Amino acid sequence: MTLEVVLITGMSGSGKSVALRALEDAGYYCVDNLPPELLLPFVALEQQSSVERVAIAVDVRSATALPLVPAQLRELRRGNVNVRPLFLDSTTDTLVRRFSETRRRHPLSSTPAPQDGPDGQRALVEAIELERELLAELRDQAHVIDTSVIRPSQLQAYVKSLLSAPVSQLTLVFESFAFKRGIPVDADFVFDVRMLPNPHYEPGLRDLTGRDEPVRAFLEQHPDVERMRSRIAAFIDEWLEPLARDHRSYVTVAIGCTGGQHRSVYLVEQLAAWFGQKRTALKRHRELDAG
């Protein structure tokens, strides 16, 4: 029996506890804030038990031992453990707002709690940026989930869908988004489709989405839409093999339009269906799922 280990890391305030609860609901044996020094002994112990799936959260509270983790993950893989690292991230502005609203102290902050005023805000931003530096190597080796503008229920659904994909093959994640709400920080590739004809300006289509037949019919009338779809597909297809050789488990392709409702949604649906014929392809609609 091969043990599956999900390692959850990420920025403080980005939703690691929410992700861990989602995995607990999905049947994983979960451990929060495990010191990195105990990672290998803990996994060895679980391999001797009947547990098949384990989720472990490691964060900056173990800052001095974090440099041990990348080598530990390589050792676990050599020992026939299926390791799936996830990194939860958010923009600095989002993290500042969350800490300020909850009045929680950042783990790297020297002050008791986020203080009002420019000095307190500056100290909080400095703590967040230091945390980014300390976690940079772990982020580079993990699949990143941007939690900046999603609700906890969305995050739980994202985590469960990611981990339902087979471990042994590269999984494509196609995500639609609205540029007006920011580019997803978890994107490996970003495509801007705002130059395509916009159904928003058609009164009968404005309240529909790219998943609705009238919007699909409208977009399929325009050759530029199919040309964009085929060019994006060809680009992704060309780089899948090099990405797989780089031991990537997930690749996120973000497609954005103005409102994240019509053009980007349509293209995500089309691309996920196309690639889903030959590999695992997941789809997200950031703005629609938030509704």
Domains defined along the chain, listed by start = 4-164 (3.40.50.300), 171-290 (no CATH)
pTM (2 d.p.): 0.83
Gap between the Cα atoms of 12 and 99, Å rounded: 9
For residue 111, the model assigns a pLDDT of 55
Q: What is the CA radius of gyration of the chain?
A: 21
Q: Which of 197, 191, 182, 172 lies closest to 263, judged by CA? A: 197
14 is in an annotated binding site: yes
Task: Please spell the DSSP secondary structure of 252-279, one letter per residue.
Answer: EEEEEESSSSSHHHHHHHHHHHHHTTTS
Gap between the Cα atoms of 220 and 189, Å rounded: 24
| Alpha-helical runs (H) found in the chain | 16-25, 39-47, 69-78, 92-102, 118-140, 152-163, 213-220, 223-245, 263-275, 286-289
- Tokens standing for residue 144: 């990143």
50 is in an annotated binding site: no
The answer to whether the beta carbons of residues 147 and 134 sit under 8 Å apart is: no
259 is in an annotated binding site: no
16 is in an annotated binding site: yes
151 is in an annotated binding site: no
100 is in an annotated binding site: no
With H, G, I as helix, E, B as strand and everything else as coil, classify residue 96.
helix
Q: How many CA atoms lie within 13 A of 118 on its CB side?
A: 0
**pLDDT in tens for each of the 291 residues of the chain?**
689 999 999 999 999 999 999 999 989 999 999 999 999 999 999 988 878 899 999 988 887 888 889 899 999 988 889 999 999 999 999 999 999 888 888 888 765 555 556 666 788 899 999 999 999 999 998 999 999 988 999 999 999 888 887 766 789 999 999 999 999 999 999 999 999 999 999 999 999 999 999 999 999 999 999 999 999 999 999 998 888 887 778 899 999 999 999 999 999 999 999 999 998 999 999 999 876
Gap between the Cα atoms of 56 and 23, Å rounded: 10
For residue 252, the model assigns a pLDDT of 95
For residue 116, the model assigns a pLDDT of 58
228 is in an annotated binding site: no
223 alpha carbon, distance to own chain's centre? 32
Gap between the Cα atoms of 181 and 166, Å rounded: 31
278 is in an annotated binding site: no
- Tokens standing for residue 196: 């395509």
